[in-house]
Amino acid sequence: MLDKVKTIIAVASGKGGVGKSTTAVNLALALQAEGHKVGLLDADIYGPSIAMMLGVPDAQKPDSPDGKSFTPVMAHGLETMSMAYLVPASTPMAWRGPMAGGALQQLLEQTHWSALDFLVVDMPPGTGDIQLTLAQKASVAGAVIVTTPQDIALLDAKKGIEMFAKVKIPVLGIVENMAVHICSNCGHEDSIFGAGGGEKVAAEYQTQLLGSLPLDRRIRERGDSGTPSVVAEPDGEIAKRYREIAQKVVTQLADQDADSGPEIVFE
């Protein structure tokens, strides 16, 4: 039921633990803050997290008007869908790849999304079945790659970029999390995980660094509490960075559409 969705954006990472879900949630909220109608799909079948990050109660279930399809769960103004709404939080999804891919297809196609400007898809880490299922079953306009500056994370980020190139999904840019730690006592800045890595990878693959986020405990605390940074402190510095990322994503998509216009040949 994607016929009303204008643009699908995948938020992905080559490895876990780099803040991909935090980025997906705050990007969706930042796009909404820019005046767009936005949905958020949690495609991480094995480890869904957006329900907790958006403060949706564990017992919340989506309505099913016909017993076969779902009505999105509203959270902070976003239309959302997640496997977390369908199974208890403590239940592991001990499924093989094809089963997880089938579950994603159901969440994607059997949810009654309304007329959305953007559907942000929070992908699981890696380059496996779920990523391929999304590429095959949906018209994805572009992907945002999330990484940290450390070399091992950047190595996996490159694999993510290469994977999207193989399935012909444009990479809109890179978001670099945990870029710098600012001491709360003295204000000293320390690049704990290295410096400049996201920018180097962006240059290597002819894409852009959409933004860098600091290693800031408030980002983690707000996600854990169910009130992400963009809504917890909409005029704060962190929210400002996410909104700048959202603006760059929208601009990149608009430029992409302009580049794909008809070719006019004069003879």
Check residue 267 and give its pLDDT.
Answer: 46
Q: What percent of the chain has pLDDT over 90?
A: 49
Is CATH 3.50.50.60 the classification given to domain 7-259?
Answer: no
Name every residue whose Cβ is closer than 8 Å to that of residue 106 and which is 6 or more positions away in sequence: none
**148-181: per-residue pLDDT in tens?**
888 888 888 898 899 999 889 999 999 999 887 7
Q: List the one residue out of 171, 161, 193 whose CA is nearest residue 18.
A: 193
Q: Can you tell me the distance from the alpha carbon of 123 to that of 126, in angstroms, rounded to the nearest whole number?
A: 9
CA-based R_g, the chain, Å: 18
**Residue 144 and residue 249 in contact, taking contact as beta carbons nearer than 8 Å:** yes
**Residue 30 and residue 144 in contact, taking contact as beta carbons nearer than 8 Å:** no
Check residue 170 and give its pLDDT.
Answer: 94
DSSP annotation of 124 reads: P
Check residue 138 and give its pLDDT.
Answer: 87
Helical packing angle, 197-204 and 151-166, nearest 10°:
30
Check residue 131 and give its pLDDT.
Answer: 84
Reply yes or no on whether the pLDDT at 196 is more than 90. Answer: no
**202-223: per-residue pLDDT in tens?**
888 899 999 999 988 889 999 9
Q: pTM (2 decimals)?
A: 0.90
Q: Can you tell me the distance from the alpha carbon of 73 to that of 255, in angstroms, rounded to the nearest whole number?
A: 32
Phi, psi of 80 (to 5 degrees): -130, 155
**32-83: per-residue pLDDT in tens?**
999 999 999 999 888 889 999 999 998 788 998 888 889 999 999 999 999 8
**Residue 144 and residue 175 in contact, taking contact as beta carbons nearer than 8 Å:** yes
Check residue 135 and give its pLDDT.
Answer: 84
**Residue 10 and residue 108 in contact, taking contact as beta carbons nearer than 8 Å:** no
Task: Identify the band that residue 260 occupies on the pLDDT scale cut at 50, 70 and 90.
Answer: low
Check residue 185 and give its pLDDT.
Answer: 73
Largest CA distance in the chain: 69
Check residue 110 and give its pLDDT.
Answer: 92
Helix (H) or strand (E) holding 238: helix 237-259
Determine whether 151 is exposed, middle or buried from the number of CB atoms within 10 Å of its CB (0-12, 13-18, 19+): exposed
Greater pLDDT, 131 or 261: 131
